[in-house]
Amino acid sequence: EADIYQTPRYLVIGTGKKITLECSQTMGHDKMYWYQQDPGMELHLIHYSYGVNSTEKGDLSSESTVSRIRTEHFPLTLESARPSHTSQYLCASSEWLGTQYFGPGTRLLVL
Amino acid sequence: KQEVTQIPAALSVPEGENLVLNCSFTDSAIYNLQWFRQDPGKGLTSLLLIQSSQREQTSGRLNASLDKSSGRSTLYIAASQPGDSATYLCAVEMDSSYKLIFGSGTRLLVRP
């Protein structure tokens, strides 16, 4: 069982609010990822990190930002939420060239 | 640009049947291929990882094969059970970017 956690699991918020989705892992993995997935649709990589102070944009353009100040923590922030941000956000981590372990996801609804 | 395709998109089988899910990729320069399972509204659970130098991996009733040169992988599920119902995703990790490229998945329903 992988130890990767996401909070909150569900979030309903109004337009214009700032939100931070938390992701933490206790496995000491250098690599961490954020994916966005609409119901029944494909996963899209929006951010990834190879280690502390490393962040890269993924394949899908996103208005969110990330930070990696500690190995175990990779939060995602939306400065001003909009209805188009409604989706499921999945965090994952891995060793180099190893299995990716996923968190349970955060389901975001922006009204 | 790497493209990962999964066929079929959906599959419905009676309990007890053996089945094969297919995954193909266009660029053979991969480090590994991973198979995941996703239940509705949940995260992904890793099933099997095959390194590019390997031909197959087995875990319980699951067997995954990899033919890197032809850009194909199969996931074989023996004696399917209703609890196997989920979406199955394959993904390849590229040696140029260390990122996973996902297929769109196969939705499996095993009928009691």
DSSP per-residue string spanning chain B? ---EEEE-SEEEEETT--EEEEEEES---EEEEEEEEE-TTS-EEEEEEEETT-SEEEETTEEEEEETTTTEEEEEE-S--GGG-EEEEEEEEETTT--EEE---EEEEEE-
Q: With bands split at pLDDT 50, 70 and 90, how would you rate the model's confidence at B96?
A: low
Q: Do B98 and A31 touch (CB under 8 A)?
A: yes
State the pLDDT at residue A26.
94
Q: Would you call B48 exposed, middle or buried from its count of C-beta atoms within 10 A (0-12, 13-18, 19+)?
A: buried
Of the candidates B31, B41, B105, which has its C-beta nearest A97's C-beta? B31
Question: Over chain A, what is the mean pLDDT?
Answer: 93
Q: What is the chain A residue with the closest CA to B52? A: A97
State the pLDDT at residue A1.
55
Cβ contacts of residue A27 below 8 Å, gap of 6+? A2, A3, A4, A93, A95, A101
Whether the predicted pLDDT of A4 surpasses 90: yes
Q: With bands split at pLDDT 50, 70 and 90, how would you rate the model's confidence at A95?
A: confident
Of the candidates B34, B51, B102, which has its C-beta nearest A42's C-beta? B102
State the pLDDT at residue A2.
60
Nearest alpha-carbon partner for A76 in A23, A36, A16, A27: A23
Distance CA A75, CA A48 (A): 11
Q: With bands split at pLDDT 50, 70 and 90, how would you rate the model's confidence at B82?
A: very high
**What are the chain A neighbours of B104 within 8 Å (beta carbons)?**
41-42
Average pLDDT on A53-63 reads 88
Judged by DSSP in three states, A96 sits in coil
Average pLDDT on A5-15 reads 96
Q: Do B93 and A97 touch (CB under 8 A)?
A: yes
Q: Which of A25-34, A44-53, A56-65, B12-21 shows the lowest mean pLDDT across its residues?
A: A56-65
Average pLDDT on A21-30 reads 95
